[in-house]
């Protein structure tokens, strides 16, 4: 039984919410019709006369039609709502993607650990949610989270998560993306208080993010204000994806998660995306190891250039 449940979870983890809802409604319809048929069969067997049996059969048929019509109506309404929600998300602009490390700050100190096995290193996988996509034009971090990866495992008990008050109203278009409202940030600390704590949490671990150049730009712009420098080595699952699946149609977090069989819980939340990125990163390390490129960070970096 446990194997069957596990197999079913592996099959459905990459399904969309619309597909899961459709299957659930289909199963509900089959179960409902089965129950109606069973009840009707027993009732027909106990009918006093052929005329009463025909009358009862008509009631059963009417009940079945009503049940199917009602279930179909609810299903169509739910599917349209889910489709509208999915379209609303797709309509949002994606984060700018970077396919090279032309930025001089990334990655730093690579030579210090270039010969060490990746599996022996400690990583902090992180993500941010922001007011917009232009850090150089005033957009700010409103949520940041990180999770430790050590010994080939995601340490879910070692996490950093904090909301950040940007000091101004969150633009409505970005609220559609991450769901973080002004009310949620009213009592949150400012970035000047949060980033030093995040810097301490990261320590000398290796930073990992998806589309890392985007998130790192927000951190780098705050270094002078907080008196801290984010000079850790930075790895990017976006670049790993380009290297491992160069012919893939997309290298978004959702696309990579689907290819890797990773379920994202809490999409577009800093912690949810960080946890998903951590699982994806471990999957990628295993693939790099199989290729012989994942034995050291230096070999992995040179392979992606």
Structural tokens at position 207: 């930073």
Structural tokens at position 94: 């994606």
Integer Cα distance of 289 and 259 in angstroms: 18
Cα dihedral sign for 107, 112, 117, 121?
negative
- Give the H/E segment covering residue 30: helix 17-45
Please report the pLDDT score of residue 226 as a whole number: 96
Q: Quick check: 95 and 107 in contact, CB under 8 A? A: no
Instruction: Say if residue 111's pLDDT is above 70.
Output: no
Please report the pLDDT score of residue 16 as a whole number: 59
Of the pLDDT bands very low, low, confident and very high (cuts 50, 70, 90), residue 160 is very high
Of the pLDDT bands very low, low, confident and very high (cuts 50, 70, 90), residue 276 is very high
Average pLDDT for residues 54-64, to the nearest whole number? 77
Which has more confidence, 48 or 49? 49
Residue 109 known to be catalytic: no
Convert the pLDDT of each residue in 196-252 to its tens digit: 999 999 999 999 999 999 999 999 999 999 999 999 999 999 999 998 998 999 999
> Domains plus CATH for the chain?
2-90 (no CATH), 110-304 (3.30.420.10)
Catalytic choice (199, 251, 268, 283): 268
Mean pLDDT, rounded, of the chain: 81
Q: Is 185 helix (H, G, I), strand (E, B) or coil?
A: helix
């Amino acid at each position: 039984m446990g194997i069957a449940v596990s197999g079913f979870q592996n099959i459905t983890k990459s399904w969309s919410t619309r597909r899961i809802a459709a299957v659930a409604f289909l199963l509900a319809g089959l179960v409902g019709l089965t129950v109606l048929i069973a009840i009707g069969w027993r009732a027909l067997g106990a009918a006093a006369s052929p005329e009463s049996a025909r009358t009862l059969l008509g009631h059963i048929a009417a009940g079945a039609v009503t049940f199917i019509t009602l279930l179909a109506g609810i299903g169509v309404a739910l599917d349209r709502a889910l489709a509208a929600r999915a379209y609303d998300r797709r309509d949002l602009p994606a984060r700018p993607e970077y396919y090279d490390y032309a930025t001089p700050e990334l990655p730093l100190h690579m030579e210090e650990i270039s010969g060490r096995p990746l599996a022996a290193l400690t990583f902090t996988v992180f993500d941010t949610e922001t007011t917009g996509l232009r850090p150089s034009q005033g957009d700010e971090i409103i949520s940041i989270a990180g999770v430790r990866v050590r010994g080939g495992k995601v340490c879910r008990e070692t996490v950093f998560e904090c909301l950040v008050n940007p000091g101004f109203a969150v633009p409505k278009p970005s609220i559609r993306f991450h769901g973080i409202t002004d009310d949620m940030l009213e009592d949150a600390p400012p970035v000047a208080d949060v980033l030093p704590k995040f810097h301490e949490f990261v320590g000398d671990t290796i930073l990992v993010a998806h589309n890392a150049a985007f998130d790192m730009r927000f951190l780098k712009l705050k270094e002078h204000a907080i008196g801290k420098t984010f000079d850790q080595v930075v790895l990017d699952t976006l670049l790993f994806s380009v290297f491992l699946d160069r012919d893939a149609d997309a290298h978004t977090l959702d696309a990579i998660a689907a290819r890797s069989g990773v379920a994202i819980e809490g999409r577009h939340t800093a912690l949810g995306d960080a946890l998903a990125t951590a699982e994806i990163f471990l999957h990628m390390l295993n693939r790099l190891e199989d290729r012989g490129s994942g034995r050291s960070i230096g070999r992995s970096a040179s392979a992606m250039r």
